[in-house]
Amino acid sequence: MATTTQAKGKATKEKGSFSKETYLFWYESMVLMRKFEERAGQLYGQQKIRGFCHLYIGQEACAAGAVSALTKDDKWITAYRDHAHPLVLGTDPKAVMAELYGKETGISKGKGGSMHIFDKEHNFFGGHGIVGAQIPLGAGIAFSEKYNKTKNVCVCSMGDGAVRQGAFHEALNLAMLWKLPVIFVIENNGYAMGTSVKRTSNVTDLYTLGESYDMPSEPVDAMSVEAVHMAVAKAAERARKGDGPTLLEFRTYRYKGHSMSDPAKYRSKEEVEEYKQRDPIEVVKHTILANKMASERDLETIDQKVMAQVEESVKFAEESKYPDPSEAMKDVYVQDDYPYIMD
């Protein structure tokens, strides 16, 4: 039976297991994710952002801890809850917000919206709206890295509901058979839309699904950014040595509904409050202050910097133009003069 990778209780939180620079990176990146998503939620309520919109609030440690464990050359792919990953990877918040607005200055030229963010420069391959569709793509990206002998890995993230898709099992089988350098991450926030894991799956310890393919698999306390970092670093080391994939079950929680249209009445206020007591941002903040890595004023300066970035991104999105209708048929095929039938 696997043990859950976790920061070693109170000792880790008090003493700090990583460098000052790492803790400050985690704090700033998680605050950026949180404030950006909170602002996106407000703008959705004002109908500035339309369509589907899935917020990452509460799950920030999943992205921050994984990014700090890897290199800038590693690859990333995820599902439709995809605003946070590019932000922590370094995508300009203005380009992400403009994409949520559907503006031509967006990172996907305003054609992808909330669920289809893509940033080649930062090795972020999306943002995929079809449940589970990104899982075989993640295996394919890893195949490319192995074929080209790069030593890079691909992190392929999904929600807990996606593991009920057949593509999940097909991808895991091939990844293990071919020893692909891919880290499969189940961001298990407890609910597939509004349905709990225990109501939809005979197996509730989702990491054990990897054992069907003899794949190293383990649960991770993903409310702890330290635990996420350690688990991803271990899996990456294994992949770079040529030993193949790992399946990690990030046990996390979202404080908001599945999407902006979800009132989340399927769970109690007490349950949400219990997880808020383990807020990854507050835990990291406590560690920083307890170890005098920074002062309250230093952290307030970071908060102000982040809020300015977020407001700048809103202003940029507001002032940007919508794509011209003539752009609708572009960027669909590699061939520029694809012979569309227009009549």
CATH number at residue 72: 3.40.50.970
Give the whole-angstrom CA distance, residue 163 versus residue 156: 12
Asked if residue 116 belongs to a domain, the reply is yes
Q: E strands along the chain, which residues? A: 75-77, 154-159, 182-188, 191-192, 195-196, 217-221, 246-251
What are the contacts of 296-301 at 24+ separation with CB within 8 A?
A: 299/27
The confidence score (pLDDT) of residue 155 equals: 98
The confidence score (pLDDT) of residue 10 equals: 38
The confidence score (pLDDT) of residue 14 equals: 54
pLDDT category at 304 given cuts 50, 70, 90 is very high
Distances in whole angstroms, Cα of residue 203 to Cα of each of 163, 208, 218:
10, 8, 14
pLDDT at 332 over 90: no
How many residues does this entry show for the chain? Answer: 343
The larger pLDDT score, comparing residue 329 to residue 138, is at 138
pLDDT at 88 over 90: yes
The confidence score (pLDDT) of residue 12 equals: 43
pLDDT category at 2 given cuts 50, 70, 90 is low
pLDDT category at 31 given cuts 50, 70, 90 is very high
pLDDT at 66 over 50: yes
The confidence score (pLDDT) of residue 76 equals: 98
Asked if residue 270 belongs to a domain, the reply is yes
Asked if residue 342 belongs to a domain, the reply is no
Residue type, 198: K
The confidence score (pLDDT) of residue 11 equals: 34
The confidence score (pLDDT) of residue 6 equals: 64
Q: Do the beta carbons of residue 220 and residue 251 sit within 8 Å?
A: yes
Percent residues over pLDDT 90 in the chain: 82
The confidence score (pLDDT) of residue 329 equals: 84
Residue 227's domain comprises: 9-329
Asked if residue 337 belongs to a domain, the reply is no
Residue type, 9: G
pLDDT at 334 over 50: yes
pLDDT at 58 over 70: yes
pLDDT at 122 over 60: yes
The confidence score (pLDDT) of residue 339 equals: 86
3-state secondary structure of 274: helix
Asked if residue 288 belongs to a domain, the reply is yes
Asked if residue 140 belongs to a domain, the reply is yes
pLDDT category at 188 given cuts 50, 70, 90 is very high
Mean pLDDT value of segment 228-235: 98
Mean pLDDT value of segment 208-222: 97
Asked if residue 3 belongs to a domain, the reply is no
pLDDT at 99 over 90: yes
The confidence score (pLDDT) of residue 8 equals: 43
Q: Which of 4-18, 91-105, 189-203 has the highest mean pLDDT?
A: 91-105
Q: Do the beta carbons of residue 80 and residue 93 sit within 8 Å?
A: no
Asked if residue 20 belongs to a domain, the reply is yes
| φ, ψ dihedrals at 166, nearest 5° | -60, -35
The gap between the terminal CA atoms of the chain, to the nearest Å, is 61
Percent residues over pLDDT 70 in the chain: 95
Number of domain units in the chain: 1
pLDDT at 102 over 60: yes
What is the average pLDDT value for the chain, to the nearest integer?
A: 93
pLDDT category at 5 given cuts 50, 70, 90 is low
Mean pLDDT value of segment 179-207: 93
List the beta bridge partners of residue 185. 157, 248
